[in-house]
Amino acid sequence: MASRISDTIKKDHQEIESYYNQILDATDKTEQIRFQNQFTWELARHSIGEELVVYPAFEKHVPHGRELADKDRQEHQSVKEQLKKFQNMDPSDAEFIPTIKALMQDLRQHIKEEEADDLPKLETALPQEQSEQLSTTFGRTKMFVPSRSLPECPRQASVRDGGWPSHRTD
């Protein structure tokens, strides 16, 4: 049985948190760089996957879903900008740990709202099979998106074309 989309998203959130903790707990620069790369890779792919798959589903299935998706996109943009700064830092930089801590503070607030409010609304609106299909699509999408933060990447996907980037005319 496939996972529902909310379970898949929550699992990703846990992995991101784990990489964050491993950065903080690392005992040397090499280890910090390894987990910095893992953290960056996972968060960048996760964010773009949500923007391309989950947020169009909010728009299509959840009452006031467009406003919800737009709010989440704005939060993602801030996180992506912070991640771009962090991904280019060296662990020996005095701002390395403060930067990742500030990023995680913002990200945790977004995760909390997403898990407590946004995803339950989506799950309520979807039959289990459709939620499982979204989960599969999300996982596949993550395989093909950038693994570094690119704040300039499309932040919005259109429901009209199945959730892939397009130029909006509205």
Distance CA 5, CA 122 (A): 9
Total number of domains in the chain:
1
Q: Is 92 a member of any domain?
A: yes
Q: What does the pLDDT look like over 3-36, one tens digit per residue?
A: 999 999 999 999 999 999 999 999 999 999 999 9
The sign of the torsion formed by the CA atoms of 65, 67, 73, 76 equals negative
Nearest to 55 by CA among 111, 129, 124, 114: 114
Q: Is 167 a member of any domain?
A: no
Is pTM beyond 0.95 here?
no
Q: Is 60 a member of any domain?
A: yes
Q: Is 160 a member of any domain?
A: no
Q: Is 118 a member of any domain?
A: yes
Q: Is 41 a member of any domain?
A: yes
Range of the domain at 40: 5-143
The one-letter amino acid code at 73 reads R
Beta carbons within 10 angstroms of residue 98's beta carbon: 10
Q: Is 81 a member of any domain?
A: yes
